Amino acid sequence: MPINDLFEPLRLGDLTLANRVVMAPLTRSRAQPDNTPSELAVRYYAQRASAGLIISEATVIAPEGVGYPNVPGLYNDTHVQAWQLITSAVHAAGGRIFAQLWHVGRISLPDYQPGGALPAAPSAILPKGNAFTWTGPKPFVMPRALEVSEIPNIVAQYAAAATRAIQAGFDGVEIHGANGYLIDQFLRDGSNRRTDAYGGSIENRLRFLTEVVEAVVAAVPAHRVGVRISPSSPVNDMSDSDPQGLFDAVASRLAGYGLAYLHVVEWAPTEVAPPDFDFQSLRRRFGGPYIANGQYDRKRALKAREDDTADLISFGRLYIANPDLVTRLSQDAPLNTPDPATFYGGDAHGYTDYPFLSDPH
């Protein structure tokens, strides 16, 4: 059996990553109310710099893209300055970091929108479920359908945020096309009933993502741009009549740009049930580096490399609790247990105080 290369360096476009372990994007809701990242985030990300690549928590491209409290943004110079401290600290510690670019679409509330406006989405379809607020769950509202004439401005906001990300010292950007947010809302027909050029056929539903990708790769070199998708995930009340056909088309479309990677949330109903979706079909069609995500542990990550079903593996919950996850995985050392009570909001507790293996104990 060949030596497993999970912990070996990897070329990603023109970047050399120290290993194939990726810190997944993780919303932690500790930014300022004006979407400026917190000072604590400098330490938090620097602690995790031994990951081959860090992907930042989802970061809004515009005030209208907000759907959760205390999330960071990249839509003004104050945000850029605050992120610069974070990216410098990660680079000083030898790490690489991409910014995840986010717009929630209908997964919002008037409470989060400028002027208390209705959230906007591809179609006026009410998602089942509740928005997250500091005062508890609050039912989603019926969004308004975007006018075609509004779409170019949102596409431009993605590109402007990508430009700001590079100004802020990020090594690249990840376009958040997953988990039922705006781009995903355009892709899947459970949330897109448009009858114009942005709805109906798969080709039409791919249009918004395609325009975003083209605007972003015009602002940032394509090999510094990744895309995240979650083809099988029902999270945020998502559904589609033909997930495999749709996301096969997404992967084929994305193959044409020379992107840094495709990041796939391989959602399955339970850890043991085989997913009702062929993720390898996406990987073959895309042809470039594939990051697999979804309840991976050490054993499954090593196996993914042995079987060559993914190029990199991203870890979410494990990265919350284990800043030195690479060391722990490579040594098969015990892992700290993440504490859900401190996932969102609060202070350094549950954020920057998870112990390293090397800490005295």
Q: Which residues are part of the catalytic machinery?
A: 181
Residue 108 binds to ligand 8OZ (criterion: CB under 6 A): no
Q: Which is nearer to ligand 8OZ, 176 or 223 (by Cβ)?
A: 176
Spatial contact of 45 and 57, defined as CB atoms under 8 Å apart: no
Closest to ligand 8OZ by CB, 287 vs 346, is: 346
The four Cα atoms 281, 177, 348, 63 give a dihedral, to 10 degrees, of: 180
Spatial separation of the C-alpha atoms in residues 102 and 158, rounded to whole Å = 8
Interface of this chain with ligand 8OZ, residues 121 to 140, rule: CB under 6 A: none
Of residues 178 and 225, the one with the C-beta less far from ligand 8OZ: 178
Nearer to ligand 8OZ, 178 or 291 (CB): 178
* Candidate residues 27, 70, 191, 342; the one interacting with ligand 8OZ per rule CB under 6 A: 27
Smallest separation, CB 143 to ligand 8OZ (Å) = 17
> What is the C-alpha to C-alpha distance for residues 356 and 46, in angstroms, rounded to an integer?
13
Decide: residue 83, CB within 10 A, 0-12 exposed, 13-18 middle, 19+ buried: buried
Min dist. Cβ of residue 313 to ligand 8OZ (A): 17
**Total count of residues recorded for the chain:** 361
- The least distance separating ligand 8OZ from the CB of residue 308, rounded to whole angstroms, comes to 27
Q: Min. distance of Cβ 55 from ligand 8OZ in angstroms?
A: 11
Both ends of the chain: CA-CA distance in Å?
37
Among 48, 27, 180, residue whose Cα is nearest residue 100: 27
Q: Which amino acid belongs to residue 111? A: D
Report the residue number, 27 or 35, with the smaller CB distance to ligand 8OZ. 27
**How far, CA to CA in Å, does 50 sit from each of 39, 172, 211?**
20, 17, 34
Whose Cβ is closer to ligand 8OZ: residue 13's or residue 243's?
243
Residues 6+ apart with CB under 8 A from 243: 188, 231, 232, 277
Q: Closest separation between CB of residue 320 and ligand 8OZ, Å?
A: 11
Binding residues for ligand 8OZ, rule CB under 6 A, total 5
Instruction: Supply the minimum distance, in Å, between the C-beta of residue 133 and ligand 8OZ.
Output: 12
CA angle 75, 101, 319 (to 5 degrees): 120
Q: Which is nearer to ligand 8OZ, 27 or 342 (CB)?
A: 27
**Smallest separation, CB 196 to ligand 8OZ (Å):** 27
Which residues neighbour 336 within 8 Å (Cβ) at sequence distance 6 or greater?
A: 321, 322, 354, 355
* Subset of residues 161 to 190 that bind ligand 8OZ, contact rule: CB under 6 A: 178-179
C-alpha span between 221 and 173 (Å, rounded): 10
Which one-letter DSSP state was computed for residue 92?
Answer: H
Instruction: Give, as ranges, the residues between 57 and 86 that touch ligand 8OZ (CB under 6 A).
Output: 58, 68
**Which residues contact ligand 8OZ by CB under 6 A?**
27, 58, 68, 178-179
